[in-house]
C-alpha cells in the first residue's frame, strides 16, 4: 500500500511537470520552454546539493514523530541548516537574474528556487517520519494551486512565458510546503544561533562525500542542459526536453520505489542482513527496469501518433531522440537501487569517487560529441556516463559485501 501511495505521489508530480511543459510548448514563445527547462534543471541541481548536505541525514533516523529518541535534535539542526541554504540560494538567484543574458535572467527564480527546495525538504521530512500519505497530499495541493495559477493567467488574457511559469510554479511549491514544514517542525523549532548551527559540522564529514557523489551523478544527468543552452541556445534544449517529456512518467515507479525501499535498505543494514539487502536491491532493479523498458518501447512505437496529438505534428522527426531518452531511463532504473543501497551502507566516499569518474566520462564525451555532431548526441554521452556508473557500483558492492564487516553503522564514511 505504501508503494501505491508513493506511486500516486510521483504520478501527481510527473503530471504537473508534463502539464507545465505542454502549456509552454503550445502557448509560449519558442524559447520560453527552453528557459523554463534550464531553471528547472538548476532547481534539481540545487535540490541535489541540499539533499547531500542536509536531507540525506534524515533517512538513517528511526521513523516516527519528532519526539522519537534520536530525532528531535538532528531534525532541529538539519532544518536550521536547510533554511540557511534556502536563503543563500534565493540571494544567488537574485544575482543571477541580473547578470544572465539571452533571456535566462528571470527575477521569478527568486520565488521558484526557494519554493522548490522547501518542497523537497518538507517531502523528505514527511517520508522519513513515515507519513507518505502526507507527502502525496502535499503533491496534490501543489498541483491544484499550479493549475489554478495557470487558469487565472489564461483568464486574464496574458501570453505565458518562462517568467510567469516560474512564478506560478514557485508559489505553488513554496506556499503549501512552507505550511507543512512549519507544522511538522513545530515540536522541534528552528534556530540560527551559532551553537545550533555548529551542530551541523559533524554532518559535513559525511556530506562532503555525499555531495561529491550526488553532484557527480547530477552532472551525468544535467550537464547536457547547460552545455546545449550555451552551445545551441534555449530552443535546442526545448526540443530535447519536449522529446523527454513523454518518457518522464517511466521515472515514477523508480522514484516511488526509492521512497519505500530506502527505509527497508537502512533496516537491512542495521540488522546486517546481507541476503535481505541484496533481495531488496534486486527487487528494485527488476521492478523498475521492467516498467521503464515497457513504457519506453510503447512510446517509441507510438511516437508519430503521440507527436501529432500532443505537439500538433511538431517534433515528429524526433523518434530517435525519444529512443535515446528511453535508454536513459532504463539505465537510471538499474542504477538507482544500487546507489541508494550504497548510501544505506554508508559508502559515501566510494560513491563519491565512482560517481565523479562516471561524470568525467559523461562530460568529456558530451563536449567531444557536440563539437562534431548535433545536440542529440549529448544523450549518448549521458548513456556512456550511466553505464560507467553502473559498472563501478556493481564492482564496489561486490567487494564490500564479500567482507565480514560489510556494513558500517551510521552515516559517517570510514572506507
Which three three-digit cell numbers place residue 72? Answer: 528531535
Predicted confidence at residue 189, as pLDDT, reads 75
pLDDT value of position 10: 73
371-382 residue pLDDT tens: 888 888 888 998
DSSP single-letter state for residue 160: P
Residues of the chain short of pLDDT 50, as ranges, are 408-415
Contacts of 349 (CB under 8 A, 6+ apart): 209, 413, 415
CA distances to 50, 53, 145, 375 from 211, rounded to whole Å, are 9, 7, 32, 28
Q: CB neighbours (10 Å) of residue 1? A: 8
> Under DSSP, is residue 244 helix (H, G, I), strand (E, B) or coil?
helix
Alpha carbons 321 and 377: distance in angstroms, whole number = 9
| d(C-alpha 108, C-alpha 204), whole Å | 31
Question: Is 107:75 a contact under the CB 8 Å cutoff?
Answer: no
Q: Which three cell numbers stand for residue 165?
A: 511559469
> What pLDDT, on a 0 to 100 scale, did the predictor assign at position 214?
64
Rounded Cα distance between 41 and 222, Å, is: 7
Q: How far apart are CA 169 and CA 149, in angstroms?
A: 8
User: Tens digit of pLDDT for each residue in 157-201?
Assistant: 777 788 899 999 999 999 999 999 999 888 777 777 787 778 877
Residue 84 makes CB contacts below 8 A (sequence gap 6+) with 192, 197
- Alpha carbons 370 and 69: distance in angstroms, whole number: 53
What pLDDT is recorded for position 171?
A: 96
Cα(303)–Cα(7) distance, integer angstroms = 25
Quote the pLDDT of residue 410: 41
- Determine contact, residues 210/344, Cβ cutoff 8 Å: no
Euclidean distance between CA atoms 146 and 160, whole angstroms: 13
- How far is Cα 173 from Cα 141, in angstroms, rounded to an integer? 9
| pLDDT (0 to 100) of residue 384 | 93
**pLDDT recorded at residue 415:** 42
**Is the whole-model pTM more than 0.85?**
no
pLDDT of residue 207: 65
Buried b vs exposed e over 226-250: b needs ≥16 C-beta within 10 Å?
Answer: bbbbebbbbebbbbbbbbbbbbbbb
Q: What is the pLDDT of residue 413?
A: 38
pLDDT of residue 412: 39
What DSSP line would sit under 168-211, residue for residue? HHHHHHHHHHHHHHHHHHTTT-----HHHHGGGHHHHHHHHHHH
Domain ranges of the chain: 1-192, 230-415
Amino acid at each position: 500500500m505504501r508503494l501505491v501511495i508513493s506511486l500516486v505521489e510521483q504520478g501527481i508530480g510527473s503530471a504537473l511537470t508534463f502539464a507545465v511543459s505542454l502549456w509552454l510548448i503550445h502557448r509560449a514563445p519558442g524559447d520560453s520552454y527552453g528557459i523554463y527547462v534550464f531553471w528547472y534543471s538548476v532547481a534539481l541541481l540545487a535540490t541535489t546539493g541540499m539533499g547531500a548536505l542536509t536531507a540525506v541525514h534524515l533517512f538513517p533516523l528511526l521513523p516516527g514523530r519528532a519526539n522519537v529518541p534520536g530525532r528531535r535534535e538532528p531534525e532541529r539542526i538539519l532544518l536550521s541548516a536547510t533554511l540557511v541554504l534556502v536563503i543563500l540560494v534565493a540571494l544567488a538567484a537574485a544575482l543571477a537574474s541580473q547578470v544572465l543574458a539571452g533571456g535566462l535572467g528571470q527575477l521569478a527564480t527568486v520565488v521558484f528556487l526557494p519554493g522548490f527546495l522547501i518542497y523537497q525538504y518538507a517531502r523528505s521530512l514527511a517520508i522519513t517520519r513515515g507519513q507518505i500519505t502526507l507527502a502525496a497530499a502535499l503533491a496534490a495541493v501543489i498541483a491544484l494551486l499550479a493549475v489554478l495559477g495557470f487558469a487565472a493567467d489564461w483568464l486574464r488574457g496574458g501570453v505565458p512565458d518562462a517568467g510567469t511559469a516560474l512564478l506560478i510554479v514557485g508559489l505553488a511549491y513554496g506556499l503549501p510546503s512552507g505550511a507543512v514544514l512549519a507544522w511538522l517542525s513545530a515540536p522541534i523549532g528552528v534556530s540560527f544561533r551559532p551553537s545550533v548551527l555548529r551542530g551541523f559540522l559533524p554532518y559535513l564529514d559525511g556530506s562532503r562525500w555525499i555531495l561529491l557523489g550526488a553532484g557527480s551523478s547530477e552532472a551525468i544527468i544535467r550537464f547536457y542542459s547547460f552545455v546545449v543552452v550555451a552551445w545551441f541556445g534555449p530552443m535546442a534544449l526545448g526540443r530535447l526536453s519536449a522529446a523527454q517529456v513523454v518518457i518522464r512518467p517511466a521515472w515514477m515507479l523508480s522514484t516511488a520505489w526509492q521512497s519505500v525501499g530506502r527505509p527497508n535498505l537502512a533496516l537491512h543494514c542495521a540488522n546486517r542482513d546481507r541476503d535481505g539487502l541484496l533481495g531488496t536491491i534486486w527487487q528494485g532493479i527488476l521492478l523498475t527496469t521492467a516498467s521503464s523498458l515497457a513504457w519506453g518501447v510503447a512510446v517509441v512505437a507510438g511516437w508519430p501518433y503521440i507527436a501529432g496529438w500532443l505537439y500538433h505534428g511538431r517534433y515528429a522527426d524526433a523518434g530517435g531522440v525519444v529512443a535515446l531518452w528511453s535508454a536513459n531511463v532504463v539505465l537510471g532504473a538499474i542504477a538507482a537501487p544500487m546507489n541508494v543501497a550504497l548510501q544505506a551502507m554508508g559508502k559515501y566516499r566510494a560513491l563519491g569517487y565512482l560517481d565523479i569518474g562516471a561524470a568525467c566520462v559523461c562530460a568529456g564525451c558530451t563536449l567531444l560529441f557536440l563539437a562534431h555532431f548535433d545536440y542529440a548526441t549529448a544523450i549518448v554521452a549521458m548513456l556512456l556516463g550511466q553505464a560507467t556508473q553502473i559498472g563501478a557500483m556493481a564492482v564496489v558492492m561486490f567487494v564490500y559485501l564479500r567482507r565480514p564487516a560489510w556494513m558500517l553503522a551510521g552515516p559517517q564514511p570510514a572506507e
